[in-house]
Amino acid sequence: MLESSAPAHGRGPASSDLAQILIVEGDERYRELLAELLRGAGYGCVTSAGAEDARALLASQSFGAVISDAQLPGGEGTELLRLTADQYPGTAPVMLSATDDRELADRAVLLGVDTYITKPFKRNEVLLGVAGALRRRALEVENTDFRARLGVSEESRASELEQTLDRLKCASTKVARSHEQTILRLAQAVEYHDGETAGHVERVGRYSKLLAGFADAPPDVVRVASLMHDVGKIAVGANILQKPGRLTSTERQGMERHCEIGYQLLGGSDSELLELAAGIALTHHERFDGTGYPQSLRGENIPVEGRIVAVTDVFDALTSDRAYRPTFPVEEALAILRDGRGTQFDPEILDLFLSCLDEVQSIRAELAD
């Protein structure tokens, strides 16, 4: 029966007040105890003694959760929970059992059960279990709806990205036009996920080519490799990348992971182009004074191509609209770059960029959003 427990204060979450709970339990005492407990916490309750009646109720009205005894005759309890998980995605399945059985708990996970409660149950165990199941189910529904609106899942994009990179890793290091177009479209797809414009990566590539005299690689190789500087953002949630306000510390940590993820995706191949791109992905947020991320590299310990893209990426970001702020005027953006000379940016690379402003402005006009 119901074990004693310290009373929970107040009602359940406001979002749960309107949730209808279907309780399926053959033992009338447990059935009524659960109903009384959940009604007292603000939930609506409908009770049923068997799976057949419960299936009819599920088909006729909406429920936030189904709490079913796993030991209904003939395996009907587990089958009902499986049916709920498969056919009613907005309804959280909650298993009730008289035994604390590891094998049954493992089966519950495979059935798609959100919460497992053992009898005799504690009041707070039931309330917390149901509230958690409802919350998880609501998040899953929201996530499913978002992905449907987006048209293609993040997992699908990541899979397509890996397949494209695998093809590139088998290719010659020579920058063939067809490979460049593949890379450009891939990079533009990542920018779409980021909420940025498709022109961002192409402008960064063209600006980087202007500064490639510092690099060992040919200018066009630097240009193409720099297109992939943000490829790791494919694994960062759009809720972080497109957030209009300031990121929390946890969100910022998630966003900063894109450098290492990009390096992992691009590195380890026989392609000099992809190895160069991997280094840029990893180091383009390092700062000349050693306060950048992810490795806190300093000065010339930062690969020169990373130092180049650090300048060109920031300039283009400042002179483009972002979810969290509008475009800076060019002169204001240049003032910010000059303020970072020797701290954020390599002084020599920044000076060369500033000396090429006529060409920079021509590229901005040619590739304007």
Within this chain, do residues 35 and 167 fall inside the same structural domain, yes or no? no
pLDDT of residue 137: 81
Residue 97 lies in a domain: yes
Within this chain, do residues 127 and 159 fall inside the same structural domain, yes or no? no
Within this chain, do residues 199 and 166 fall inside the same structural domain, yes or no? yes
pLDDT of residue 339: 97
Query: What mean pLDDT value characterizes the chain?
Result: 82
Within this chain, do residues 105 and 165 fall inside the same structural domain, yes or no? no
Give percent above pLDDT 70 in the chain. Answer: 80
Within this chain, do residues 60 and 163 fall inside the same structural domain, yes or no? no
* Candidate from 75-89, 178-192, 273-287 with smallest mean pLDDT: 178-192
CATH at 112: 3.40.50.2300
Q: Which residues partner with 96 through β-bridges?
A: 69, 117
Within this chain, do residues 168 and 144 fall inside the same structural domain, yes or no? no
CATH at 333: 1.10.3210.10
pLDDT of residue 14: 36
Within this chain, do residues 246 and 350 fall inside the same structural domain, yes or no? yes
For residues 164-193, average pLDDT: 59
Last residue of a domain, one of 108, 126, 150: 150
Q: How confident is the model at residue 5 (pLDDT cuts 50, 70, 90)?
A: very low
- pLDDT one-digit tens code per residue, 123-135: 888 888 888 888 8
Within this chain, do residues 213 and 346 fall inside the same structural domain, yes or no? yes
Residue 16 has pLDDT above 50, yes or no: no
pTM for this predicted structure: 0.52
- pLDDT one-digit tens code per residue, 235-256: 887 788 778 778 899 988 988 9
Q: Is 349 left (phi over 0), alpha (psi -120 to 50) or beta?
A: alpha
Sign of CA dihedral 74, 80, 82, 83: positive
Q: How confident is the model at residue 103 (pLDDT cuts 50, 70, 90)?
A: confident
Residue 7 lies in a domain: no
pLDDT of residue 172: 42
Last residue of a domain, one of 117, 135, 150: 150
Q: How confident is the model at residue 174 (pLDDT cuts 50, 70, 90)?
A: very low
Within this chain, do residues 76 and 197 fall inside the same structural domain, yes or no? no
Within this chain, do residues 193 and 84 fall inside the same structural domain, yes or no? no
- pLDDT one-digit tens code per residue, 303-352: 999 999 999 999 999 998 765 567 899 999 999 999 999 999 999 999 99
Last residue of a domain, one of 129, 150, 171: 150
Tell me the residue range of the domain where 119 lies. 14-150
**Domains identified in the chain, total number:** 2
Q: How confident is the model at residue 10 (pLDDT cuts 50, 70, 90)?
A: very low
Within this chain, do residues 85 and 163 fall inside the same structural domain, yes or no? no
pLDDT of residue 15: 39
Within this chain, do residues 59 and 38 fall inside the same structural domain, yes or no? yes
Residue 79 lies in a domain: yes
pLDDT of residue 119: 84
Q: Which residue has the higher pLDDT, 186 or 284?
A: 284
CA neighbours closer than 13 Å in the CB half-sphere of residue 205: 24
